Structure formats: C-alpha cells, structure tokens
Amino acid sequence: MIATILPSSPSFHAIAYNEAKVAQGKAKLLELKNFGPINTFGYSSPEELTQYLMEYTSRNDRIKQPQFHLAISCKGHEYTEEQLVEFAHQYLKEMGYGDPEQPLLIYGHHDTENTHIHIITSRIDPKGKKINDSNERRKSQKILNKLMKTDLKANAERDMKVAMQFDFRNVNQFKAVMEAMNYECYEAEGMMCIKKGGMVQSKIANDTITIQADRNKLYHKNDVTENAKWKAIFKKYRDTNSSRSGLERDLKKMFGISLVFFGKKDSPYGYVAIDFHNKKVLEGGNILGIKNLLDFKTPEEHMNEIEEFINNTFDQNAHITTKELNKRLRRLGAFVRKDSIIFGDIKKVMAEGHRAILERNNKVEWRNGFKPQNAKERDLLCKLTGYEYPELITITESIHGKYHCKDLKELTEIFNIPDIQERLKAFETAGFKLVIEGEVYAYRPETQTLTNIAKTGIDKDLYAPMLPSRQHLPSKKIQSSKTLRASHPSQSHDGSKYANREWEVGKYEKDRDDLDHNGKYTY
C-alpha cells in the first residue's frame, strides 16, 4: 500500500484533474461528503465543487495553499476500491482530517494496472482552523505502517473466517476462495499461509481446511439446472467482451462472481467460479470448458456483428428510436451515441441511412411526448418546434378530457402572483411560453407540455393581464404564424393590426428544430 501526498494548490486544481478523468471514462466519483446543497441537488460542473471548497476555505484567509490531495494505491488489485475507501477514512482520521463535517471527495481511477484512489479535501477544519501539517510526509508514512500492520492482520483473520463458510470441497478450492479475495496462499509445514502486502498475515492448519471440506462434500450435489444457468450467463458475457479481463470485470460487477484460473497466466488449464453472493465454489468444467470460456471474438468481429444486428433491427422496425435501439444493443455490450456505435474502446460512425432514420424517429418521439390531444394542438406543436411533418405526430385523445398536466400546480402558483411584472418574470424563468392560437396555451419544452390553459380550470382573469395585445382573448381564428415578444402589459396595439396573430410571451431559440437547446432539454 502506498499513500502519496500530491502538491497543494490555492485553487483546488485537483478537482478539475479528477473530473476530467471522469469525463474520459477513466475514473468515477466514489464519495462526495459534506458539500452542502451539492449533496442534495448534485452538481453540473467541476467549477461548482471547486467554488464550494474555495468558499469553505475562505473562513481562514491566512492559508495560501489550502488543497490537500492524496493518492492511495496498492499492488495490482490486492484491494478493491471499497477497501481502499475504508482504509482512506482511517488514514484521514489519523492525519487530522477525520472531522465528521470535513468536506471530502474520493475518486477511483481505472487508467492503470493497479487499483488506486484520489482524495481531495481542504487543509482547513470545519471550525476554520488550519489542520496541522508539520512533517506530514513523515507522519503519513508512520500512520501508513501502523494501519497496514493492524489492518492487514485483522482483515486476513476476518476474510479467512468468511472463506471457511464457503462450500469448498478440497484444499485447492479453499485457496481459490482466498485468492478471489486478493490474497496469496501457500502451504508450509502443514499450515496454509495467507499472505498480503508482502507478509504472511495469518495461518490455518491444512487439517482444519480438510475437515471442513469433507463436511461440505456430504451436502454438495451437482445442480444441473444451476450449471445451465451459469453457462448461459458466461457465454453471454464472453460474447460481449474481447478479453478475459472484461469478462472477469462484468461477472464480478453483475453477479458477484470471481474467476480463479489454474496454470500459467496466459494459458490456464482450468478454473473455478467463486460465487460471493451464495458462498459457493462452482467448478468451471461443469459450466463451460476453459477453451470455450476464453474463445473471444476480435473487436472487429464484434463490431461486424453489432452492425448486422442494427441493420436487421431497422428492417423489422423502421420507427425505432435511439433509446429503444440501445435497449436491444445492451445484450451485445454496445450502444449508440449521437452518430456513432460504441463497443468498449471502439467507436465507429453509423451508416448514413441509419443516422437519418434515428434522427427522424427521435424528433418524432420527442414531439409525441407532448401528447397533443387533437389536430389543432398537434399542428401548433409542429409550428412551435419548426417541424414540417405533422402527419407523423400521434394524437393522444384523453378519455378524461384533460387537463391534469404535470405543470398545473406550478402554473397556478405563478398566475396567483399579485404583481404582473413578477408574474411574467416567474413565467419565463420557469421555462414557459404563452402562446395564443385562437385559445391560450402554456408551452414548456423542458417538461414536454402544451397546456390549453382554459381547460385547466384556471381563472381567465389571472392570465388575461399577461396577454400582450389586450386584456381579453381574441375571438377570431388565428391565421398568421408570426410571433411577437411581449412588451409591458399596458402597451397598447392597434386591434386590427394584431387581432389575428399568434402571440408568445418569451422568444424562440436561434434554431427551433435543435431540440437539445444547449442542454436545457433533450428528445
């Protein structure tokens, strides 16, 4: 185990570094603690995390380098991320960073051959005092040695007791269980030596293991049905990976299964599967032979299979959306993002025809989410979103006659704001646009709602003052599709000039057919 204190910083630059790794898929946030509202509502950018720590640290303006950035790593994968996080908590407590209210970020990195985590916090404690950092690297090593000595022995004893609860039927299978827990095992003088961190941490008599193995044999039976289940699962995840490491990762993550191989690393002759959920040792030969298990397709073969699958899917369903397609691709370990097919580290641009079909279907699906209840609403929706094919949009007639829309409560609260200017501001801030097309509608792309306000039961006197042309609703049918941004409610207009127009409080985005709208909402 190694604990490395990384350079300090006045600006907490380590957050941007770790978040960049997350964006690249090379790391993930394992723990976010004591970050105020961020813990409840989340964050949209690394800058929010940085700003919080800067404000937290500002209570002591004498500290010029407030960032505490630490990396803890182990040899290979001796420890899991969860175990490293647990160790980090003990380490931080010993180093003076263990206050229950201390802000803390922990990231797990996956871009090296060994398990390691990064920890970020402030050198200021919750009371505003500087945390003692005198001789901290020497202090760190002493704490590391202390925790390793205590922690490794205690963990080994605990894990050995857990291993004895598995249904192993011989000494080698017991060793496999311990190896699946990231220990090295060897026999010496009638004892099984359990090694980790370069030292023997515990021992158990071989006779004790053998006695338990003989007991397990009495109750063990080869379950053909269970073996068939695991065979199907192993084949499925073999076919969604191009390497042994990927297969092992997926089986561990999805089913709590660890594979332990016998023989040389590059050419094993057999294996067992350790089922941690059910504390079972499954003999690989009864599930899927070693050659069959490791018969992986090349990445190119996988991609060809995926493309063929996509082609057949479009033949069967020309109206499929990206979301529906990805549900089907999941079993192949692939997905579509924007205009590309992604399988592991491989990214390939989709066929142009398929991209065009998905783009069309996604646009139709997004508009169908508004659930227009008649032709008028459908046509208005197409006009508002700049879509030229209303015949592709489905009319969803409600047997309840509408309107119990998801925005009703919020609209009611807004329309009851006494001050008209505050009412208009709240309306726009909430993302609504007021549209007149014969009747008055509240249009809100973010929640995919187009609400005929008259049918909600809201008193007309509450929203009539918000209309830009006059204090009452137009009675004639709207002919024009022109728009006008609302000015002050008291502004007067020539009635004959504006009576037959579509009015909107708010404005359209630059490109009304761009449904992503800079991340405000997606289709």
Cβ contacts of residue 253 below 8 Å, gap of 6+? none
Of the pLDDT bands very low, low, confident and very high (cuts 50, 70, 90), residue 485 is very low
Residue 261 in this model has a pLDDT that exceeds 80: yes
Residue (of 43, 30, 9, 124) closest to 72 by Cα position:
30
Residue percentage of the chain with pLDDT more than 70:
87
**196 phi-psi bin (left φ>0, alpha ψ -120 to 50, beta other):** beta
| Amino acid, single-letter form, for residue 162 | V
Per the CB < 8 A criterion, the answer to whether 296 and 241 are in contact is: yes
- CA 132/CA 138 separation, integer angstroms: 13
**To the nearest whole number, what is the mean pLDDT of the chain?**
85
**Strands 433-437 and 346-349, bridge-based pairing:** unpaired
Per-residue pLDDT tens digits for 418-462: 998 898 899 989 999 989 888 899 999 888 889 888 888 888 888
Per the CB < 8 A criterion, the answer to whether 322 and 332 are in contact is: no
pLDDT of residue 456: 83
Residue 211 in this model has a pLDDT that exceeds 90: yes
Residue 255 in this model has a pLDDT that exceeds 90: yes
Mean pLDDT of 81-95: 94
- CA 439/CA 186 separation, integer angstroms: 82
Residue 274 in this model has a pLDDT that exceeds 80: yes
Which two three-digit tokens encode residue 185? Answer: 């095992």
pLDDT of residue 404: 55
Domain boundaries, the chain: 2-133, 152-219, 224-293, 299-366, 371-383+395-519
| Amino acid, single-letter form, for residue 165 | Q
- CA 60/CA 455 separation, integer angstroms: 57
- CA 285/CA 227 separation, integer angstroms: 10
Phi, psi of 205 (to 5 degrees): -65, 140
pLDDT of residue 503: 38
What sign has the CA pseudo-torsion 455, 456, 461, 463?
negative
| Amino acid, single-letter form, for residue 386 | G
Mean pLDDT of 286-313: 91
pLDDT of residue 469: 54
CB atoms closer than 10 angstroms to residue 221: 6
Mean pLDDT of 126-139: 92
Of the pLDDT bands very low, low, confident and very high (cuts 50, 70, 90), residue 222 is confident
- CA 356/CA 368 separation, integer angstroms: 18
Per the CB < 8 A criterion, the answer to whether 426 and 410 are in contact is: no
pTM of structure? 0.49
